[in-house]
Every structure is written in structure tokens, then in C-alpha cells.
Amino acid sequence: MKSLIQSLIVFICSTTVVFSAIEQKQTVSTVSTAHVLNWSFGLIIVLALFFVCIWFMKKMGALPVSSKQNMKVLSGLSLGMREKLVLVQVGEKQLVLGVTPGRVEKLLMLEGEDRLFQQDNTEEDFSLKLKQIMSGKNNE
């Protein structure tokens, strides 16, 4: 048993000496043109994949295409804890929407002369004009 342990220790020590001698004989390779071409090709593939993903996201509508906004929230009026009236402008039309946690409903559509705001939009004007419209005529 004692000789088996001694022979195992000698074997382990000899293998570490052999492997350390092999590691010291390895030389450091220099960067060649083949390496640079390989890296460049990999970079081109990654960038092409990146731009294809961006193009696909634009086609699917995940990214905005233009900075021109056709839809704006002009004003809002809180009716309670979770209910709101919101005035939204879409192009030349203005919509008065009722917003609750589970639903958005169109209450009024205003066009032309009936629009609440031409350029200036303040919350006080919104509530006053909304009261006038609600008491007077109903545009649907």
C-alpha cells in the first residue's frame, strides 16, 4: 500500500513537470492579415444582422418612422379617481374621449368651426367649452 501511494505521488509530480515543459515550448503567434480579415468579416456580419433587425422593427411598426406627430393630447379633465375626459387632436379633427381603466370611448368628434382650440390650449377653456357643448348641441 505504501509503495502504491509513493508511485502515485511520483507519477503526479512527473506529469506536472512534463506539462510545464510543454507549456513553455509554445510560442506566441502574431496577428496576421488572415486574423484581421476574419475579425472584419465577423464584424460585418454582426452589423448587417443589426441593421436587418432595425429594418424589420420599422416594418412591423415597433419603431416610429417619422418625427411629425399627427396626434396630440390637447387637454384632460379628471372626473374622479379613475375617470378622465381627454381632448385629442388627430389631424384636423378633435376628439373628446372618456377614459376609464378598462375602456376608452369616443364622446364627441369636433371638426372645423366646432373645434375647441385652434392654437391656444388651456385647461380652463377646455372645461368651459365642454360645458357649453354638453348643455347645448350634441355632435356625434
The model's pLDDT over 81-91, given as tens digits with 9 standing for 90+, comes to 899 999 888 87
Say what percent of the chain tops pLDDT 90.
23
**Do 54 and 63 form a contact (C-beta atoms < 8 A)?**
yes
Q: What is the per-residue pLDDT for 47?
A: 96
Give the C-alpha distances (Å, rounded to integers) separating 119 from 2, 71, 122.
Answer: 99, 14, 10
70: Cβ contacts below 8 Å, ≥ 6 apart: 90, 91
Has residue 99 got a pLDDT over 70? yes
Three-state SS for 49?
helix
Range name among 72-76, 102-106, 127-131, 134-138 with the lowest pLDDT average:
134-138
25-48: average pLDDT: 86
**Do 107 and 85 form a contact (C-beta atoms < 8 A)?**
yes
* Phi-psi domain of 63 (left: phi exceeds 0; alpha: psi -120 through 50; beta: other): beta
Q: How far apart are CA 92 and CA 71, in angstroms?
A: 10
Half-sphere exposure of 66 (CA within 13 A, CB side): 4
Say what percent of the chain tops pLDDT 70.
66
Q: How far apart are CA 105 and CA 80, in angstroms?
A: 16
Which segment, 9-18, 19-28, 73-82, 131-140, is predicted with the most confidence on average? 73-82
Has residue 122 got a pLDDT over 70? no
